[in-house]
Amino acid sequence: MSMERIKTSILYSLQEKPMNFWKLLAENQYLLGDFLKVLNELYEQGMITIKNNKLCLSEKAKKELNKKASKFSVKICDKCNGKIVLPGKKFEEILKIFKKISKQHPPILAEFYQGRIIPEDTLKRVALMHKYGDVVDKSIVLIGDDDLLSIALALTELPKRIVVFDIDERFEKFFNEINKKYKLNIEFVQYDVANPLPKTFLRKFDVFSCEPLETDSGFKAFFARGAACLKDYGSGYIGLTRLEVSMKRWAKFEKFFIDNGFVITDIIRDFSWYYDSERKEEREEYEQFVKMLKFDPGKNPKVCWYKASLLRIESLGKHKTAIPWNKKIKIIPVDEESFTHPSLNE
């Protein structure tokens, strides 16, 4: 990715209208370190100024830009929010229950780099999976489930089996309670993807889904376990950000899918928006990177600025698992692109 592309993207966003830092970030999902660097440069060069907490183009910047561009506005669809599908009425009913359950979710832990997708987007993910034939009578495994996708799936009563792997032992009690209260049948397994896969889950599922750790080793581990769980011709849904994974590493991950016998069928940009928590401590935990800015961005007025693209992959049959299912994997949880992690901003 050239810095020029990021610069142009920022400037034309602001040509459309001045906006606060958080909104600008939400609309410009580039590698966060690069984004902050370019933004600082533009600020120091006097291309961007700040008025009433909003970033604006300076007169100098306005002159440099193509004036005709502003006439051609393009919005992300405000009906589906750029997510392609519209879930029907029955999904709306489930959403209400799902939102209620979501509130009982154990607080997120930076220790496991947890974060949560907004409930609406989790439901849209279920709808998309259903549209693509990956829900009805399917055995589905979630490799990590911060977002409680398992519960959204279970509430439809459509899948045959739902298994959740998560490293976080607090979930065991949580799922037990939810299962009981809502008559669901989600199987919870406390499991760290660094460890060998329990053999009983090998090649048993039609679908896996995950929001992997985004370091090379983290991504590889999540994918390897997902692939090991999958039957021939099964499919996988994987969330991947542009904020903490450079395009170079995206290509590496894509090659990884293909070299292991999968095809990428869909990449929907910015499909999943992460929750801006109502718990202040949780929110600010991942927003410490603002220290790197040369100006004060102001407090985040509840903008969801952290988004993940959704990739769907499909096994071509006899796929490989990258790492043998019965081998341990050494996982490095944070790397130099983990810009939102508190440890990178100490």
- Residue 89 or 103: the one with the smaller Cβ distance to a second copy is 89
Q: Is 185 in the site for a second copy (CB under 8 A)?
A: no
Which CB, 146 or 206, lies closer to a second copy? 206
How far from 270 is each of 28, 274, 303, CA to CA, in Å? 10, 10, 14
- Among 17, 90, 170, 173, the residue binding a second copy under the rule CB under 8 A is 90
Task: With beta carbons less than 8 A apart as the criterion, state whether 246 and 5 touch.
Answer: no
- Per-residue burial over 241-276, b if 16 or more Cβ lie within 10 Å, else e, is bbbbbbeebbeebbebbeebbbeeebebebbbbbbb
Residues 297-316 that bind a second copy (CB under 8 A): 314, 316
Cβ–Cβ < 8 Å for 69, 14: no
Binding region for a second copy (CB under 8 A) out of 166-174, 187-195, 250-258, 291-299: 250-258
- Quick check: 346 binds a second copy (CB under 8 A)? no
Which listed residue (25, 55, 101, 128) binds a second copy by CB under 8 A? 128
The minimum distance between CB 18 and a second copy, in angstroms, equals 18
Cα separation, 86 vs 88, in Å, equals 6
Contact between 232 and a second copy by CB under 8 A: the answer reads yes
What tokens were used for 263? 């095809």
What is the sign of the dihedral through the CA atoms of 99, 101, 103 and 107? negative
Please report where in the chains the tokens 């919005």 appear, as a residue: 75
CB neighbourhood size of 76 (10 A): 11
Residues facing 187 on adjacent strands: 163
Residue 75 binds to a second copy (criterion: CB under 8 A) = yes
Q: Which of 125, 130, 220, 307 binds a second copy (CB under 8 A)?
A: 130
What are the residues binding a second copy (CB under 8 A)? 1-2, 4-5, 8-9, 12, 66, 68-69, 71-80, 82-91, 127-128, 130-131, 133, 136-137, 156-158, 232-233, 247-248, 250-251, 254-255, 258-259, 262-269, 314, 316-317
